[in-house]
Amino acid sequence: TSITSAKIQVNGVHLHYQQTGEGSHAVLLLPGMLGSGQTDFGPQLKSMNKQLFTVVAWDPRGYGKSIPPSRDFPPDFFERDAKDAVDLMQALKFKKFSLLGWSDGGITALIAAAKYPNLIHKLVVWGANASVTQEDVRIYNGIRDVSKWSEKVKKPLEELYGHKYLAETCEAWVDGISRFAENSDGNICQQLLPDIKCPTFIIHGQKDPLVPQAHAEYIHKHIKGSRLLLMPEGKHNLHLRFAKDFNREVENFLR
């Protein structure tokens, strides 16, 4: 099945999305920091079961092809993304849908599942965190300067954004997410986790250099009935590196 690309106006911005499949179960893929459907979810758009699922991958405002506007990071940027994501799916006429959120997209998905329980069927998150510790801030500062990134990670994003936008947005992200460390317990969305009632599957790569395993364990502990899968060789991008295993696990959970 082909992958279609389009834009639709939501909450005053034109959001770009890709869509494929004709299954009755709608699934929204939520990308990570600086991510887009195209850069973050190639193997999922290509290989997820098109008979069972209708797969939508979106570019959050200021990312990918959802520019303009430029990306900014006000204190409520995760809540804003959660509302945009849910409103996008409703604008596309999906009554109920599942969320697959990676990294920042996982945080957005947690918030969306807690705040819009009647719309969310099932939830899968990986590389996500519900709080920011001082250790996390140290890790974020380690990726602040994009010129120090590996070519493999940097190149597709430079092609998408140009060097200047990529570098400035990454710095703004580090500042924006580090601010959560000033909250009590470094809270992003800890208080919302008990409100998540849909079946939830948390996946974590045990070699993830960006998100310590304690974050996945915390989310698992505070979402009742959730399931946690640890992938011993998985890093932050486990859904790309181990796409076949990841897709299989997720599809089995979503069925």
150 is catalytic: no
Q: In this structure, which amino acid lies at residue 68?
A: P
Picking from 34, 4, 228, the residue whose alpha carbon sits closest to that of residue 140 is 34
Contact 106, 177 (CB under 8 A): no
Looking up tokens 């009647």 gives 118
Collapsed DSSP state (helix, strand, coil) of residue 176: helix
Contact 203, 124 (CB under 8 A): yes
25 is catalytic: no
236 is catalytic: yes
Picking from 43, 54, 191, 44, the residue whose alpha carbon sits closest to that of residue 130 is 191
Catalytic residue among 16, 215, 236, 239: 236
Catalytic residue among 208, 215, 226, 239: 208
Catalytic residue among 36, 66, 98, 103: 103
Active site (catalytic) residues: 103, 208, 236
